[in-house]
Structures are given as structure tokens and as C-alpha cells.
């Protein structure tokens, strides 16, 4: 089986994420959408689930361990977090991303994505300004919440698919059928 990551190559080098919502791509946000507690309509939730299907199928395997090719990609980034950063700032940003990867035992591409998501979810402003002030401990809490939220998403899909009175019943049932057909059960073993 292939490695499960939710990043895509970027034409400038490095990786990007296709946006699922305008600002928040976290698993916590996806969980809230499935539960019907976000501002997303059931139709938008269905679209979001379709976009995230591959990641959900991967389960916790999505959070892949460090990888030499990912480390090389991230290390080669000139401006990993914000446009217009100086070379010195870029070097410190890359070093911070690699440190996140090392401490959390997380693929370097995903460490970059985690940092971007953390800044977005917490509305911290410019990524380049925030890196100097962040600690690994603050990211650790966010990372663990993301891992737990991914599993909560799967549980929520099962619960809402079984509850015909749920606002998200139809989209949850459709997403769950697709995930089961894709081998979700095998990926959770």
C-alpha cells in the first residue's frame, strides 16, 4: 500500500494543500462539519468529505513518519512559509519544520502542513512572523488533537450514517459507503 499523505507537489517546489474550506483545513473542523456543528451546509460537508476521502481512508497512517525524500524537499524550500522572507528567516523556518518532524516523528511535508494549519486555525497571522515565537509544545497539543480528531471523524461518520434524523445522515452514509469500499477497515487494523 502507498503512503498516505494529504499534500500535493507545488510548482514552486515544496507542497501545497488544496483548500477544503477558505481558512481551516484541520481534522477538528472536518469533525465539526460531520457533526453538523459548523456553518457548512450538508451539501458542503459532502463535498468536503469527498475531498478528504483519501485521508480518512488512510486513518492514522496519514501521519507518516519522517522520510528522506520529504526532508530533502522541505530542506530545499527557499520560502517555506511566507512570500518575501529573507534567506536567514527561511533557513530558520526550515530548521523549525525539520525540528517539528524530528520531535513528533512526522513526515517533513506533514510537519510543514501541520505548522501552516496551526497558524491558520489559531489565526496567528503571518507564518514567517509566528515561527520565531512558537514552541514545539504548542504544536504538540495541536498535533495530538488532529490525530484524535481524524479518528473522531470516522466515528462521527458511523454514528451519523446510522442516525436517520441527523442533518448529515445522507452525506455521512454516502461517505462511509465510499470509505468502506476503499478499504477503510483494512487501514484501521
| pLDDT of residue 170 exceeding 90 | yes
CA distances from 85 to 77, 78, 81, 94, 131 (A): 11, 9, 8, 12, 12
| pLDDT of residue 157 exceeding 90 | yes
SS3 category, 113:
helix
pLDDT interval class at 4 (50, 70, 90): very low
Between 23 and 12, name the one with better pLDDT: 23
Reported for 90-99, long-range contacts at CB under 8 A and 24+ positions apart, including other chains, are 92/131, 92/132, 93/127, 93/128, 93/131, 96/131, 96/134, 98/71, 98/74, 99/136
| pLDDT of residue 159 exceeding 90 | yes
pLDDT 10s digits, 52-73: 888 888 877 788 899 999 999 8
pLDDT 10s digits, 100-150: 999 999 999 899 888 888 877 777 766 666 666 777 888 889 999 999 999
Q: Which residue has the cell 500535493?
A: 8
Between 155 and 89, name the one with better pLDDT: 155
Average of per-residue pLDDT values in the chain? 77
Amino acid at each position: 500500500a502507498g503512503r498516505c499523505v494529504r499534500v500535493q507537489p507545488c510548482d514552486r517546489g515544496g507542497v501545497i494543500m488544496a483548500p477544503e474550506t477558505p481558512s481551516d483545513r484541520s481534522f477538528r473542523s472536518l469533525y465539526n462539519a460531520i457533526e453538523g456543528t459548523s456553518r457548512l451546509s450538508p451539501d458542503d460537508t459532502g463535498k468536503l468529505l469527498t475531498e478528504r476521502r483519501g485521508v480518512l481512508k488512510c486513518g492514522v497512517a496519514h501521519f507518516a513518519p519522517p522520510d528522506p525524500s520529504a526532508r530533502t524537499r522541505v530542506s530545499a524550500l527557499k520560502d517555506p512559509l511566507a512570500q518575501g522572507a529573507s534567506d536567514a528567516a527561511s533557513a530558520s523556518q526550515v530548521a523549525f519544520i525539520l525540528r517539528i518532524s524530528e520531535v513528533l516523528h512526522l513526515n517533513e511535508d506533514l510537519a510543514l502542513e501541520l505548522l501552516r494549519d496551526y497558524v491558520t486555525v489559531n489565526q496567528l497571522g503571518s507564518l514567517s512572523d509566528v515561527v520565531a515565537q512558537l514552541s514545539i509544545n504548542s504544536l504538540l497539543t495541536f498535533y495530538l488533537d488532529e490525530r484524535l480528531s481524524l479518528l473522531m471523524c470516522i466515528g462521527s461518520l458511523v454514528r451519523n450514517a446510522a442516525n436517520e434524523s441527523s442533518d448529515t445522515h445522507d452525506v455521512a452514509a454516502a461517505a462511509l459507503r465510499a470509505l468502506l469500499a476503499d478499504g477503510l477497515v483494512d487501514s484501521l487494523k
